[in-house]
Amino acid sequence: MSTPLFAIWQRLLWLLLTLAALLLAGCDNTKDPTYQGWVEAELIFVGPDEQGRIDTLAVREGDQVEKGMLLFTLDAELQLADVAMADASVKNAQLAYDRALALVKTSSGTQKTLEDAEAALRTAQARLNSAQTRLTRRKVYSPVTGSIQQIYFRGGELVTAGKPILAVLPPNNLKVRFFVNEATLPKLKLGDPVRVTCDGCDADIVARITFIARSSEFTPPVIYSMDERSKLVFLIEARTDRPERLRVGQPVSVALGAVP
């Protein structure tokens, strides 16, 4: 009678040990390292090639734009005048070339005069093309598909060459940035998945590590003790396939370990 009872107790003990192991495993999962980070954007800044006054602004902050969509135009009075002058120069050069060609055909002119007239005509045509290009570029189109994040100047304001008028954010230019300590660094590699959580997010967002810094942040040029070395941190960046679920500047929590 004692043997069956012992077997029952042995089986019960085995079940208890199994349950304890599962609970410990569950506790270990909850202890996956978690780091505080934030969402950062790689903005595309769009500005004019030349100085000008903003004539029209075709978008507002928050608008979704497609690549090639008109963003803004600049006043084009000077460029129109340049095109008119260049066009007149082409017509005059064409007349000079035609006269030189006719004189050569009747042996009244020289080949040198014809060649000079032809060179002047090519130069005038090149200047016309340049003036037309400058006129065309007074209309600025979106270089990428994305959303308008910031507008720095409004209609009627004067903008210098190269000064950004607005910033466009392509969806894939969002990234999560966080820091890990020196001990954690060897455990990470490019392509590793991480879980990103934030206030208001419906569920964990999966991202993959795309950058691991080779040097620590805020490192003074001294020899560190073991205690000081533990305070060094390294920048990590990760990107997700669902960037629309994140917002620029949003604080997030990043958990390392297996992604369910």
Residue 176 and residue 127 share a domain: no
As a whole number of angstroms, the longest Cα–Cα distance in the chain is: 136
Residue 3 has pLDDT above 60, yes or no: no
CATH number, domain of 208, equals 2.40.30.170
Whether 113 is in a domain gets the answer yes
Q: What digits encode the pLDDT tens for the residues 147-189?
A: 999 999 999 999 999 899 999 999 889 999 998 888 888 889 9
Whether 5 is in a domain gets the answer no
Residue 247 and residue 176 share a domain: yes
Whether 88 is in a domain gets the answer yes
Whether 97 is in a domain gets the answer yes
Q: Which of 110, 137, 164 is the last residue of a domain?
A: 137
Whether 106 is in a domain gets the answer yes
Residue 250 and residue 187 share a domain: yes
Domain span at 81: 76-137
Residue 197 and residue 132 share a domain: no
Q: What digits encode the pLDDT tens for the residues 77-87?
A: 999 999 999 99
Q: What digits encode the pLDDT tens for the residues 37-49?
A: 889 999 999 999 9
Query: What distance in Å separates the CA atoms of residue 131 and residue 260, rounded to the nearest whole number?
Result: 59
Q: Which of 92, 111, 137 is the last residue of a domain?
A: 137
Whether 116 is in a domain gets the answer yes
Whether 200 is in a domain gets the answer yes
Q: How many domains does the chain have?
A: 2
Q: What digits encode the pLDDT tens for the residues 211-226?
A: 998 887 664 444 444 4
Residue 182 and residue 127 share a domain: no
- Output helix, strand, coil percentages for the chain, rounded to the nearest 5: 35, 30, 35
CA 48 to chain centre: 19
CATH number, domain of 127, equals 1.10.287
